[in-house]
Structure 1
Amino acid sequence: MPRVREIEVFRLVLPYGRRPESILVRLIDYGGMDGWGEVVDADPKIWAALEEGLARALIGVDWEHPDELGAVPGGSAADMACWDLWTKMRGVPLSHALGGNRTSLMATARIGGERNLESLVARVNRLVCAGYAHVTLDVHPDWDIEPLRAVRHAYPALGIGVDARGAYTDIEALEAMDAYTLSSIERPFSNLADHADLQERVAAPVLLDVSSVAELDEAITLSAGRALLLRPAALGSLREVRRAHDHAVAAGWEIACAGGQGTGLARAATVAAASLPGCDLPCDVAEPPRSAQIVIPPVGASGGVVAVPLTQSGLGHTIDEVRVRRLAKDSYAV
C-alpha cells in the first residue's frame, strides 16, 4: 500500500524555443521508492494548488490505487506521479497497468512553419529516409491544397494527416483536401456542429481534441467526428484517459495519442496511453530536444517507431535528478 512521506516539486525553464516551463512532482514513500509526474506549460495556479493542497492530500494517507484519490491537487503531474509510484511498487510497467497491449507505436512527424513547396518536400524526404511512414502537415486557408498535392505526388504511399488548428470556416476547402487520401483531418473548426457537417462529406475521419469525457460524449452523440485526439494532460488524470479511450472505442472511433514536449516525463505517460488497444492512429510523441530531457533513455522515435518500455516498472525511465536540479528555477519539499 503506497504511503507518501515526502513530496518535492520543481519548476523548470526548458532550454529551447520560447523557453516553456514544466512543473515536476516527485513523491517518495516510506520505503524510499519514488514516483514522478510532469505538467507542461502549466497554468500559474497549478503551482499554488500544489503548495496549498498536495501535502494535505497525500502525506501519510493510505491508498490502494490511484483511482481512489480522485482529483489530486496539481492535476496531471500529481496524478502521474501517483501512478508511477503505484506501478513501481507492483513491479509492472505503466502501460500494462492502464490496459495497454502494444510493444511499439507508429509515430507521426508534425511539420509546420514551411512556406515553400520545395523545402517542404525536402523535409518530408528526410523524414521518410529516417523511417517515418506518416506525417502530419499543419494547414490553414493560405497553405493547404498545394502542399498536400506536392507531398502526395512525391510520396504516393505515405500516410498523411492534416492539422487545421481550428483555422477554417469553409467546408469546401476541407472537402477538397479529402481527395488526397488523408488518415485524418484534425481540429478543423472551433465548434462541434461544423465538425458534424464536415464528417458527413469526407471519407477521412475528423479528429477531435477534447478536454473532458463529457465533451467527447457530446461529440459522439452529434457524430461530430470519427477519431479522438487523446491527450493525457488535457484530461487531468490517467483514469479519465482510460474512460475517454473506452468511450471512443465503444463508439467505433479511432484514436491518436499526443503529448506535450517538456522534459520527456509527460511524453512517457503519453506512450503508455498510446499502448491501449484502441489507439490505432499514429501517435505524436516526437522526441523533445535532448537539451531538455531528464529521462533515460530519452523518449522519442527511432526509424518512425516508438518503443513502449516494458523492462522497467512505472513510466519505464530513469530520472536524471542532477539535471532536474540544474534546470529548476524554483523548488520546494515537504
Structure 2
Amino acid sequence: MKIHRIDRYRVRLPLRIPFETSYGRLTEKAFDILLVTDELGNQGIGELVPFEQPDYIEETIATARIIIENHLIPLIKDADIHHPKEVSLLFNEVKGNQMAKSSLETAIWDLYAKRNGTSLKTYFNETRTKIPVGVSVGIQTDLAKLIDQINEYVVQGYQRIKLKIRPGYDLKPIDAIRNKFPDILLMVDANSAYTIKDISYLKQLDRYDLAMIEQPFAANDFLDHAQLQKEMQTDICLDENIRTLKDCELAFSLGSCRSINLKIPRVGGITEAMKIVDFCKERDLLVWLGGMFESGVGRALNLQFASQKVFKFPGDISASDRYYYEDILTDPIEIQKGKISVPNGFGIGVSLSQETLLKYGLYDTLFIK
C-alpha cells in the first residue's frame, strides 16, 4: 500500500474531574488524531498522546508534531508498505520520539486491517471479546472524597484500583482505602516521586497487600529499582523506564521489577509492543496495559491489543466517561459488569464523531500526494 494523504485534528478535551499526580494537575487533555489514507481511499486512525509538559517523559505534543511533520512523514510518503511491521524499520533512523512514531505506526496498522477487511485483533494471539479493566485514581487530599470516588468505581465494576502517590501522600490514603476496601485489588503509582534514600520508608507499603508499586524511582534508575525490589516483598512495576524491548531485557537481567506497565505509545507502536509481550510471556514476567488519558481512538486500540489472553492483570482501560464529558467516537466505550467489550468492525473498530471533533478540534492537512 502507498500513503496518499495524512490529515490531522488537534483536539483539546476537558476532563470531568481534575487529575493530580506527583507531576502536577491535569484539567484537560490535548491530543492529535491522525488520519492516514492509502491509494485506494482506505483510512487508518492514530492518536498522538504526549502531554504538553516534558514531565512524564521527555517527549511533548509540540516536539512530537515537529518530528512527525519534518522527519517521519518524509520516511513513509513515498514508501511501498507491504506490512505495518515495516514502518518501525523505516522509522529507525529517527532516534527516540516513540510517541510520535506510534501515532503513525498504529494508524497504519488500523489502515492495514481495514484494507484487508478484518479486525485489528486478528493479528494478535489468543484474543477475547471482553476484557476486565481497572481504573487510575489521582491524588485527592480529602480522604472522604477519595473513598467516595473509589466506591463509585467499585460500584461501576472496575476490578482494580490504582492510586497515585507522592511523598506526604502515601501511607495515610492507602491505609484509609484498605480499611474501607480490605479485599480490593489495589496498587499504587509513584510516577518517579521517590529516591533510593526512601527505601526504608517504602518498605512500609509491604503491610498493605498491594498488587504492586509502580515506578517509585526515576526513569533511568534500573539499578536503584533492582535494589528496592530485593528489599521489598511488594512487586515493583516499571513504566517510564520501558521504551524498548532492550529496556525490558535490562530490567529483567538486573531484577529491577516483577511487572511491566506496557504503553503502546511509549514503546513506539504495536510492533515493538508485540516483541515486549512475547519477551514477558517467555520469562513469566507480568505484563499489563497502561493508558495515557487517550480519547476513544487510543482506548479502542488498547482494547484490541489487550484482548490477548496474556494480559491477565486488569489494565488502565476505563470507559469513555471516566475522564471525559464527551468522547470523539460515535459510540463511546462503556463498562459493563467490570468488563469492556472489544470494539467490533474493521481495524480498531470505531468511528469518529465529526460533530465532536469540530467542536473541540482544529483540522489541517499534513501531506497530500
TM-score (norm 2): 0.83
Q: CA deviation at 1:292?
A: 4.8
> Are residues 1:265 and 2:297 paired?
yes
Q: CA deviation at 1:160?
A: 0.4
Please tell me whether the aligned partners of residues 88 and 314 of structure 1 are also in contact (alpha carbons under 8 angstroms).
yes
Which of 168, 171, 187 aligns to 2:215? It is: 187
Unaligned residue ranges in structure 2 (runs of 5+): 16-25, 51-59, 95-99
CA distance in 1, matches of 2:40, 2:159: 45
Q: 1:55-94 maps to which residues of 2 (within 5 A)?
A: 56-59=74-77, 61-69=79-87, 70-72=89-91, 74-94=100-120
Tell me the residue number matched to 1:246.
Answer: 278
Deviations 1:300-322 (A, max 9, x none): 5333322222x312001112234
Please tell me whether the aligned partners of residues 76 and 90 of structure 2 are also in contact (alpha carbons under 8 angstroms).
no
Please tell me whether the aligned partners of residues 238 and 259 of structure 2 are also in contact (alpha carbons under 8 angstroms).
yes
SS at match of 2:47: strand
Which of 203, 206, 217 aligns to 2:249? It is: 217
Deviations 1:151-192 (A, max 9, x none): 112222110011111112311222211211111111111212
> Are residues 1:46 and 2:52 paired?
no
CA distance in 2, matches of 1:255, 1:323: 34
CA distance in 2, matches of 1:60, 1:193: 43
Q: CA deviation at 1:111?
A: 1.4
CA distance in 1, matches of 2:223, 2:71: 39
Unaligned residue ranges in structure 1 (runs of 5+): none
Q: CA deviation at 1:241?
A: 0.5
Which of 245, 250, 259 aligns to 1:227? It is: 259
Q: CA deviation at 1:137?
A: 1.1
Tell me the residue number matched to 1:306.
Answer: 340
Taking only aligned residues, the RMSD between alpha carbons, in angstroms, comes to 2.2
Q: 1:2-21 maps to which residues of 2 (within 5 A)?
A: 2-16=1-15, 18-21=27-30
Q: 1:93 to 1:23 in 2, by over 3 A?
A: same
> Are residues 1:296 and 2:314 paired?
no
SS at match of 2:70: helix
SS at match of 1:215: helix
Deviations 1:1-40 (A, max 9, x none): x333222123223344544321221122233221110111
> Are residues 1:140 and 2:170 paired?
no
> Are residues 1:122 and 2:122 paired?
no
Q: CA deviation at 1:85?
A: 0.6
CA distance in 2, matches of 1:204, 1:21: 34
CA distance in 1, matches of 2:176, 2:266: 34
Please tell me whether the aligned partners of residues 187 and 210 of structure 2 are also in contact (alpha carbons under 8 angstroms).
yes
Tell me the residue number matched to 2:361.
Answer: 328
The percent of aligned pairs where both chains have the same amino acid is 26
Which of 204, 207, 213 aligns to 2:234? It is: 204
Q: CA deviation at 1:104?
A: 2.0
TM-score (norm 1): 0.91
Count, aligned residues: 332
Q: CA deviation at 1:108?
A: 1.4
SS at match of 2:118: coil
Q: 1:303 to 1:71 in 2, by over 3 A?
A: farther
CA distance in 2, matches of 1:293, 1:100: 29
Residue range with higher mean Cα deviation, 208-217 or 5-14 = 5-14
Tell me the residue number matched to 2:23.
Answer: none
Q: CA deviation at 1:330?
A: 4.7
Deviations 1:91-120 (A, max 9, x none): 222123133512222221211221133222
Residue range with higher mean Cα deviation, 59-68 or 12-21 = 12-21
Q: 1:59 to 1:139 in 2, by over 3 A?
A: closer
Which of 153, 156, 161 aligns to 2:182? It is: 156
Q: CA deviation at 1:83?
A: 0.2
**Letter paired with 1:23:** D
Which of 92, 99, 102 aligns to 2:125? It is: 99
CA distance in 1, matches of 2:183, 2:207: 14
Q: CA deviation at 1:262?
A: 3.6
